[in-house]
Amino acid sequence: MFSDKTILIGITGAIAAYKTCELIRLLKKHNANVKIVVTPNALNFVTKTTLETLSQNPINIEQFDIKNFKPEHIALTDESDIFIIAPISANTISKISHGICDNLLTSTFCAYKKPIIIAPCMNTNMWENPAIIQNLEVLKNRGIKIIEPDSGFLACDTQGKGRLADINIIFESAKELLLPSQILKNKKLVITAGGTKENIDPVRYIGNYSSGKMGIALADSAYKLGADVVLISTFEVSKPYKVIVTSDTENMYNSVKNEFKNANSLIMAAAVSDFKVKYKSEQKLKKNGSTITLELIENPDILFEMSKIKTNNQIVVGFCAESQNLLENAKTKILKKGCDYLCANDISNKEIGFSSDENEVYIINKNLEIQKINKDKKTIVAMKILERIYGRS
Ligand code: CTP
């Protein structure tokens, strides 16, 4: 889940520091890179060895322990995606709300511009102290996410509010801030990628230049948005969602038909061969000094067939690569294919499309309305396509 994220955990001198060990384990279990910064007092409650073993990273304590000629508090802000201070003591709350930078943790807070979560833990009387209430209000108004403590039995042998919130709640808040909203949760999306290969004989095929990058970017993005993804690809890829490897068009057609039955949507990003060889040779063709003629016949048009059988609740999206008159051809194509959306890109532009890491797409709907997605990395364009078609903007 967090494989591309670095999470900075801050720990201050409060008894619940031992619970942070479980939070670190949970984040590691979800593949986060965990870095830790502690106040010197935190080490009265949890040891350096424990934290380093759990996070598999050296912990950061000293403000002037400069590595790589970069002040440590700046390095920590640059290297991480979110800062979670749990537990945060009354003392540290008061310091950070006033911009005090007297140790590595408070200095890091002061320089931090990405999302921050704080989870306080203290005695009930301290929690109710007007100074603490006011300081927390200041932090809240500055956009810091505060996870309030729970009520219950406290370490100081009293009952009341002040226990560190459940670590699962802290984990869920981090997830909310770090991952895109789950607009495709409970939706099954079938996505095709790559170029189909039509065999001529056991060693030769007719293929195309599709790299599959756009289809895979769409599948990865749909997975991040919570979808139950089935990627039907013409090459092997290892992914945390279901991947079906197909080769020729007939094969891809059968897999798509099968998976689309109970799906919410199909995205045909694959470059599908329009033709196949009529008579495939069982044996390798030998040269004999004369010409060989291959007779080609049409393949099924998967997009057209699926658009024909789709229900009103299913969304079918096609792609089209054009080398001239992009929008005119795309408009004609969406009407011919009968799909709900067509994403058109201009393959005459060498900077985008096929093997490139970038793309620029026009999304056309059935009413022939057009939205442009500006040139960007395919991963970003993919996310924008999904958001425009299935959701938010
Ligand atoms: N497609 C398909 N089955 C085919 C050919 C294409 O499902 N046999 C899908 C592609 O996956 C893509 C869309 O149709 O989503 C448009 O592909 P494109 O090659 O641009 O369209 P064609 O129908 O092949 O039209 P053209 O005559 O322009 O090649």
What average pLDDT score do residues 160-171 get? Answer: 94
H/E stretch holding 370 = strand 370-377
Q: What is the pLDDT of residue 181?
A: 80
Q: What is the pLDDT of residue 153?
A: 80
Is 343 an annotated catalytic residue?
Answer: no
**Amino acid of residue 361:** V
What average pLDDT score do residues 228-242 get? Answer: 96
Lowest average pLDDT, out of 248-252, 294-298, 356-360, goes to 356-360
- Ligand 1, atom 28, lies closest to the CA of 322
What average pLDDT score do residues 53-75 get? Answer: 78
Best residue among 268, 322, 336 to mutate for probing ligand 1's pocket (most ligand atoms within 8 Å of CB) is 268
What value does the mean pLDDT of the chain take? 93
Nearest Cα neighbor of 370 from 337, 343, 339 is 343
> Does residue 353 surpass a pLDDT of 80?
no
- Ligand 1, atom 16, lies closest to the CA of 320
Q: What is the pLDDT of residue 393?
A: 42
Question: What is the C-alpha to C-alpha distance for residues 52 and 274, in angstroms, rounded to an integer?
Answer: 57
End-to-end CA distance of the chain: 24
Residue 370: CB atoms within 10 A of its CB come to 14
Q: Which atom of ligand 1 is nearest to the CA of 318?
A: 15
CA distances from 368 to 41, 328, 333, 383 (A): 64, 10, 11, 22
Q: Categorise residue 99: left if φ over 0, alpha if ψ from -120 to 50, beta otherwise.
A: left
What average pLDDT score do residues 239-243 get? Answer: 94
Cis-peptide, bond into residue 300, ω within 30° of zero: no
Contacts of 92 (CB under 8 A, 6+ apart): 12, 39, 85, 105, 106
Question: What is the C-alpha to C-alpha distance for residues 390 and 343, in angstroms, rounded to an integer?
Answer: 14
Residues near ligand 1 with C-beta < 6 Å? 249, 268, 270, 272, 274, 299, 301-303, 318-321
Set 101, 156, 339, 343: catalytic member: 156
Q: Residues 337-359, buried b or exposed e (16+ Cβ, 10 A)?
A: bbbbbbbbbbbeeeebbbebebb
Could you report the per-residue pLDDT of 35-52, keeping only the tens digit for each? 999 999 999 999 999 999
Tokens of 109: 């807070």
> Does residue 338 surpass a pLDDT of 60?
yes
Question: What is the C-alpha to C-alpha distance for residues 60 and 82, in angstroms, rounded to an integer?
Answer: 16
Helices (H), 225-356: 249-260, 302-309, 326-337
Band of residue 70 on the pLDDT scale cut at 50, 70, 90: low
> Does residue 66 surpass a pLDDT of 60?
no
Q: What is the pLDDT of residue 103?
A: 94
Band of residue 73 on the pLDDT scale cut at 50, 70, 90: confident
Distance of CA 264 to the CA centre of its chain: 20
Could you report the per-residue pLDDT of 300-322, keeping only the tens digit for each? 999 999 999 999 999 999 999 88
Could you report the per-residue pLDDT of 255-295, keeping only the tens digit for each? 999 999 999 999 999 999 999 999 999 999 999 899 999 99
Compare 357 and 329 and report the one with higher pLDDT.
Answer: 329
Q: How far away, in angstroms, is 103 Cα from ligand 1 center?
A: 61
What average pLDDT score do residues 108-123 get? Answer: 95
Backbone phi, then psi, for 159, in 5-degree steps? -105, 145
Question: What is the C-alpha to C-alpha distance for residues 178 and 34, in angstroms, rounded to an integer?
Answer: 14
Residue 55: CB atoms within 10 A of its CB come to 21
Q: What is the dihedral of CA 309, 310, 311, 313, to 10 degrees?
A: 180
Domains recognised in the chain with CATH numbers: 6-178 (3.40.50.1950), 188-390 (3.40.50.10300)
Question: What is the C-alpha to C-alpha distance for residues 301 and 355, in angstroms, rounded to an integer?
Answer: 23
Q: How far away, in angstroms, is 268 Cα from ligand 1 center?
A: 9
Q: What is the dihedral of CA 337, 339, 341, 346, to 10 degrees?
A: -20
- Ligand 1, atom 3, lies closest to the CA of 301
CB–CB of 131/125 below 8 Å? no
> Does residue 191 surpass a pLDDT of 90?
yes
What average pLDDT score do residues 336-365 get? Answer: 87
Band of residue 392 on the pLDDT scale cut at 50, 70, 90: low
Beta bridge partners, 169, equal none
CB–CB of 242/227 below 8 Å? no
Q: What is the pLDDT of residue 288?
A: 87
∠ CA 22-26-29, rounded to 5°: 135
**Amino acid of residue 243:** V
Could you report the per-residue pLDDT of 117-164, keeping only the tens digit for each? 999 999 999 999 999 999 999 999 999 999 999 988 877 778 888 899
